[in-house]
Structure 1
Amino acid sequence: MERLNRSGPFWFIISCCAFASMWVMIRYAARDLHSFEIVFFRNLFGLMFLMPMILRNPGLIRRDRARVHLARATSGFIATMGTFYAVANAPLADTLAINYTAPLFGTLGAVLVLGERVRARRLVALAVGFAGMLLVLRPGSVPMTPGIIAAIISAVSTGYSIVAMRSLVGVDDPRAVAAWTFILILGPSLACALFVWRLPPQSVWGLLIAIGAAAAVGQITLTRAFSLSEASAVLPLDFVRFGLVTAAGVLLFDERYDAFTLAGGALILGSTIYLAFREAQLKRQARRDSQPRG
């Protein structure tokens, strides 16, 4: 177990770096292409990078599991479209801070959909997280641009994905979960891209391929990290992604962030870390209580 706890954070940091670099490349590619078209190429090239793994492991992708993954893929499709649009059209740190609220919406969804009980400490963590989102958005003083609205839609959809994914934990291979994500949303992303289609300039093809590669690496390493370590052990490392994305916004895109945005992002991330830590505690307690005594 100790070895697994060490390797889980390693894979999570790789995932943070992959997703942060993907966001930077999305912003550059969006200068020439609509974000919906970038989503399609992300899925196309990401699936191509995963094909060797799929072909080397017959039975990894089981057709009888397609319907099980469909609910998660549907919300994942909405979340991906929203995230890519927000990255292309809103400040990166604001988008990421809002993105961090997804586990909060997931916890709220588990209460409303799955009937889970939430005690006082988790309620306080939820309140702190949503207060952090209000600090970032500051209704009335920060304009609700289409990019910010897309980021909120993405966070809510990702939260639903978290709820849907709970039925897959311990059942499907983490590699299959990542592969199904690309397979099931490839067609819908193409359908949306056709409405804004233009032939990518030659200079953008390298970025599109790299975006697909980063997405594939990020998905595989993320699912691997969560399969090796509890969420509470790796989520604190998401500050790596926050730091990389914020630095990229300042250094590469001349974005400026105030203290409210940074403080709000820290509150949101802190509350999601606490929720993951508290959930891990409750699971361990439930396992102890279920063991025979004597």
Structure 2
Amino acid sequence: MAIIPRLSTPQTSPDTGPARNNRRGMMWLAADLCFNIWALSIAKSLGVDLPPIQIVLVRALVGLAVLIPFVVWRGGMVRLANPKLQILRTMLSTIAMTGNFFAVAKLPFALFTTVNFTRPLLMMALAALILGERIRAKQWIAGGIGLIGVVIAVDPGSLGATSASGIGALFASVIAGTSAVIILRRMRNEDALTQMIWQTAGLSLTSVLPAIYFWQAPGDHWPILLSIGVLSQTAQFCFMRAHYWAEAGVIAPLGYFSLILSVTVGYFVFDEVPSIGLYLGAVLIIGAALMASHKGKRG
């Protein structure tokens, strides 16, 4: 993933920093959701024709191609203050992306998106275990509600072998991806562009050997593979702009709009009809995530 230098700069003040524009931020996040769903839809259409790790490598190489001009502009690679943490984060991100591409090919689109909504709840638990953050009772209750929602949405008794493998890969992706974010929070003093340059270069290195081992000739799929990389990079750019302009608490709930996009794409493109249980589970998971993130009034 790449981060691009600012196209424009909001007005700033010494006290408040960049002036926020929540409406503009919401527009950028909406674009991020659309590009991300588009990229995942293309990956899903490939199915298992190409190994997921091969898709990860091509995606990383496209990102690297985008970032190289900024490396040159900076006069070379900037050294990291926490190289060991960056290596661990890169390895976890490789696992997360590979699991993500495998899962989206195996699972209904709406179910794939719904399970991904558990990331904020898992991050809460990992932040308590790894970072020692204090979690209130209400947040733990929200985590329990979210877990119930996952069981209802997934409906383990109805899973076949193919869907079960997809769910396993998706949970591995969620855990690895969330752990990578937790590590990123420990690296918050690192420059953002430096992180993204090293992250993308690291993804290329960690995925290249397994991708070569499992490599299948893309044939006519080359344009599709490259489009996944371009769309994913565009989505990342929109995501960064969204969080630059808007307050995180304002735009975060908009992320759940991706379920509507997933249901729509799944229905019209992949002939998928979500079950009532999935909708009920999604409501519980989203409600739990919002409940866990609500800080309440301070006395």
- Specify the TM-score bucket, using the shorter chain as the normaliser: 0.7 to 0.9
Return closer, same or farther for 1:152/1:18 CA change in 2, 3 Å cut-off. same
- Partners of 1:19 and 1:175 lie apart in 2 by 21
Which residue is 1:108 aligned to? 125
Output aligned runs, 1:85-234, within 5 Å.
Answer: 85-143=102-160, 145-169=164-188, 171-201=189-219, 203-234=220-251
Q: Name 1:25's counterpart in structure 2.
A: 42
- Tell me what 1:292 maps to: none
- What corresponds to 2:23 in structure 1? 6
Mapped partners of 1:16, 1:181: distance in 2: 22
Is the 8 Å Cα contact of residues 56 and 94 (structure 2) preserved in structure 1? Answer: no
**Counterpart Cα distance in 1 of 2:143 and 2:241:** 27
In 1, are the aligned partners of 2:80 and 2:190 still within 8 Å (CA)? no
Cα offset for 1:23? Answer: 0.4
Give yes or no for contact 1:47–1:216 (8 Å, CA) kept in 2.
no
Distance 2:227 2:262 in 1: 17
Superposition deviation, residue 210 in structure 1 = 1.0
Quote the Cα distance in structure 2 between the aligned partners of 1:198 and 1:142.
29
SS of the counterpart of 1:145? helix
Deviation of residue 212 (structure 1)? Answer: 0.6
Q: CA deviation at 1:58?
A: 4.3
> Secondary structure of 1:256's partner?
coil
Give the percent of matched residue pairs that are identical in Structure 1 and Structure 2.
28
Determine if contact 1:175/1:220 at 8 Å carries over to the other structure.
Answer: no
Task: Please point out which of 26, 49, 55 is paired with 1:38.
Answer: 55
Supply the distance in 1 between the matched residues of 2:236 and 2:73 (Cα, whole angstroms): 18
Per the TM alignment, residue 90 of structure 1 is displaced from its structure 2 partner at its CA by 1.5
1:35-90 CA distance string (max 9 Å, x none): 22111111111221233344334467435554342232222111111101001122
| Structure 2 stretches lacking a partner, 5+ long | 1-17
SS of equivalent residue, structure 1 residue 257: coil
Which whole-Å CA distance do the structure 2 matches of 1:101 and 1:5 have between them?
A: 25
Q: Distance in 2 between matches of 1:68 and 1:227?
A: 25
Deviations 1:87-127 (A, max 9, x none): 11221111111111122111111111122211122112212
For 1:28 and 1:145, the matched residues in 2 are separated by 19
Letter in 1 for 2:192: P
Structure 1: gaps spanning 5 or more residues? 290-294
Q: Return the match for 2:274 from 254, 257, 262.
A: 257
Partner Cα distance (2:232, 2:217) in 1:
22
Q: TM-score, normalised by structure 2?
A: 0.84
The structure richer in helix per residue is: 1
Superposition CA RMSD, Å: 2.4
Shift of 1:207: 1.1
Q: TM-score, normalising length from structure 1?
A: 0.85
**TM-aligned CA deviation for residue 213 of structure 1:** 0.9
**Cα drift, residue 24 of structure 1:** 0.6
Distance 2:77 2:26 in 1: 25
Count, aligned residues: 280
Post-superposition offset of 1:133:
0.8
Moved more, 98-107 or 5-14: 5-14
Q: 1:276 to 1:55 in 2, by over 3 A?
A: farther
Task: Tell me if the contact between 1:231 and 1:277 (Cα under 8 Å) persists in the aligned partners.
Answer: no
CA separation of 1:217/1:275 partners in 2, compared to 1, >3 Å: closer, same or farther? farther
Farther off after superposition, 191-200 or 66-75: 66-75
| C-alpha distance in structure 2 between counterparts of 1:158 and 1:52, whole Å | 27
State the shift of 1:253 in Å.
1.0
